[in-house]
Structure 1
Amino acid sequence: MNRIGLSTSSVYPESSAHAFAHAARLGYDAVEVMVGIDALSQQTAAIQQLSEHHGIAVCSIHAPCLLFTQRVWGSEPWGKLERSAEMAAAVGAEVVVVHPPFRWQREYAAGFVDGIAALEESTGIAFAVENMYPWRASQRHGVEMYLPSRDPSAQPFANATVDLSHAAIAGDDPVAMAERLGPRLRHVHLTDGTLSAKDEHLVPGRGTVGAAAFLQHLARTGFDGEVVVEINTRRCSSVEERASDLLESLEFAREHLGVAAS
């Protein structure tokens, strides 16, 4: 059965420590650590201690490749991915989630496909390249900001991540993307969105991308990777409201994947 994990980014502005606590209390199977500005997320020993303390596994590490984490673990992109793989191996995770390079990272982008394959071979860790989206100020105009492509199904990556909020903002059909990827689909960021110009990361079921149909497709086709809830709860007015959104997301995943509570 699929494990259902919780991304530490889903509890921001609470810390990684709070994410582990929420995950354990609500019944999640695992945690994905978003390496970012939270100091704990950058410390392998701290993540190991949190995992052991709460009795919950780390299923994946999200490399620090967001725009606002460009200086986390230095500025050299390959070094950041190597450190992500080291953390993954140390905490027992098999997957590192990585975004494609920004278009201004031309040297990094030129060697990205081959470099990811080489890292997977040398580390034994799956680098699941995530789908992204055009940047736009309105619904009509967008600029492609990622190289070699925002769509991992268009490149020969061995492993990929499908993020439903990213698919929504791009106007992509996530089921069609999953079909193109086939067994290369290793990882899922469960969330939701609309055709808004913003990357919304809604609670699944509250948007229009078809999150339920996507999960049902995964169940029908025997997907055996990780499903990680990655939602935006920054506007929640209380810890209780945040926990309610996290629980709703977990129950949505269980219902449409046909997974019983553990």
Structure 2
Amino acid sequence: MTLIALSTASVYPESTAHAFGYAAQLGYDAVEVMVGIDALSQQTSAIKQLVEHHEMPVCAIHSPCLLWTQRVWGTEPWGKLERSADTALAVGADVVVVHPPFRWQKEYSAGFVDGIAALEESTGIKFAVENMYPRRASSRRGMEMYVPGWDPSEQSYANTTIDLSHAAIAGSDVIAMADRLGDRLRHVHLTDGSGSVKDEHLVPGRGAMGAAAFLGHIAEQAFDGHIVLEINTRRCSSREERIVDLAESLAFARQHFAVRTN
């Protein structure tokens, strides 16, 4: 069964512990843990305690591969992925989400595709490589930030993630990308974007990405991976306002991830 999960990143600047609480209160099926600067997110024992306390499973671990998490769990990228897999196994998750390497990580990027395949074979964990975007100085020009590329459908990864906010920046057609990936699409970061140069992570339905049509399409294609709400609630002025956004996102996912009948 496809799980509708909440990313812990969706409640920032509140903590990983708060994310588990929101997920349990609102009726999410699971949580994706973004390993970041929050100390709890880095500790397997703490995550397991949150799982038990809230009776809320973890479906995925997001490896600390963002610019602002470059020093979390050290600076050696393969070691960070191995630790992500160890954490996933310990807490019962079956997916590690990872971004492609930055262009300046030359040694890491040179063996990235084969290295991901080797990690999947040795750990039994699915490493779902996420779509990213070129760095855009304007709406017309972009610079490649990621190697071997920001579009995972162009590589031979066995498992991939589509993020609708990233696709908005890149100007990608997410339905076409899903079709190119086929059964290699294992994970979805459900969010939205307007197409600006900013990584907006809007509540799904509040942007221009056709999130409802995308969900309906992957439902028709019998998608059986995880759908994770990864939205930006940093501008919420209160806990109540954050709850409204998280609840609306969950309701949107459940409404539109359905096979259409005519």
Superposition TM-score tier, normalisation by shorter sequence: over 0.9
In 1, Cα distance between the equivalents of 2:39 and 2:137? Answer: 32
Secondary structure, aligned partner of 1:120: helix
Report the alpha carbon displacement of residue 144 of structure 1 after superposing the two structures with TM.
1.0
Q: Do residues 43 (structure 1) and 69 (structure 2) align?
A: no
| 1:74-223 superposed matches below 5 A | 74-223=74-223
Q: Judge conservation of contact 2:132–2:166 (CA < 8 Å) in 1.
A: yes
Aligned to 1:225: 225
In 2, Cα distance between the equivalents of 1:56 and 1:137? Answer: 41
Aligned to 2:32: 32
In 1, Cα distance between the equivalents of 2:7 and 2:139? Answer: 28
Report the alpha carbon displacement of residue 143 of structure 1 after superposing the two structures with TM.
1.0
In structure 1, give the amino acid aligned to 2:175.
Answer: V
Report the alpha carbon displacement of residue 137 of structure 1 after superposing the two structures with TM.
3.0
Secondary structure, aligned partner of 2:5: strand
Report the alpha carbon displacement of residue 52 of structure 1 after superposing the two structures with TM.
0.6
Give identity over the alignment, percent.
Answer: 76
In structure 1, give the amino acid aligned to 2:46.
Answer: A
Secondary structure, aligned partner of 1:215: helix
Cα-Cα RMSD: 0.8
Report the alpha carbon displacement of residue 59 of structure 1 after superposing the two structures with TM.
0.3
Secondary structure, aligned partner of 2:143: coil
Q: Do residues 255 (structure 1) and 255 (structure 2) align?
A: yes
Q: Judge conservation of contact 2:4–2:227 (CA < 8 Å) in 1.
A: yes
Report the alpha carbon displacement of residue 2 of structure 1 after superposing the two structures with TM.
1.6
Unpaired runs of at least 5, structure 1 = none
TM-score, with length taken from structure 1: 0.98
Report the alpha carbon displacement of residue 258 of structure 1 after superposing the two structures with TM.
2.8
Report the alpha carbon displacement of residue 203 of structure 1 after superposing the two structures with TM.
0.1
In 1, Cα distance between the equivalents of 2:38 and 2:139? Answer: 32
* Per-residue CA distance 1:91-133 (angstroms, 9 max, x = gap): 0000000000000001100100000000000000000000000
In 1, Cα distance between the equivalents of 2:258 and 2:114? Answer: 37
* Per-residue CA distance 1:64-108 (angstroms, 9 max, x = gap): 000000000000000000000000000000000000000000110
In 2, Cα distance between the equivalents of 1:148 and 1:86? Answer: 25
In 2, Cα distance between the equivalents of 1:197 and 1:164? Answer: 13
Q: Do residues 235 (structure 1) and 235 (structure 2) align?
A: yes
How many pairs does the alignment contain?
A: 259
* Per-residue CA distance 1:222-243 (angstroms, 9 max, x = gap): 0000000000000000011001
Report the alpha carbon displacement of residue 215 of structure 1 after superposing the two structures with TM.
0.2
In 1, Cα distance between the equivalents of 2:258 and 2:22? Answer: 22
In 1, Cα distance between the equivalents of 2:25 and 2:258? Answer: 21
Report the alpha carbon displacement of residue 136 of structure 1 after superposing the two structures with TM.
1.8
In 1, Cα distance between the equivalents of 2:213 and 2:70? Answer: 35
TM-score, with length taken from structure 2: 0.98
In 2, Cα distance between the equivalents of 1:141 and 1:203? Answer: 27
In structure 2, give the amino acid aligned to 1:91.
Answer: V
In 2, Cα distance between the equivalents of 1:108 and 1:147? Answer: 9
Moved over 4 A (4+): none
* Per-residue CA distance 1:15-58 (angstroms, 9 max, x = gap): 00000000000000000000000000000000000011000100
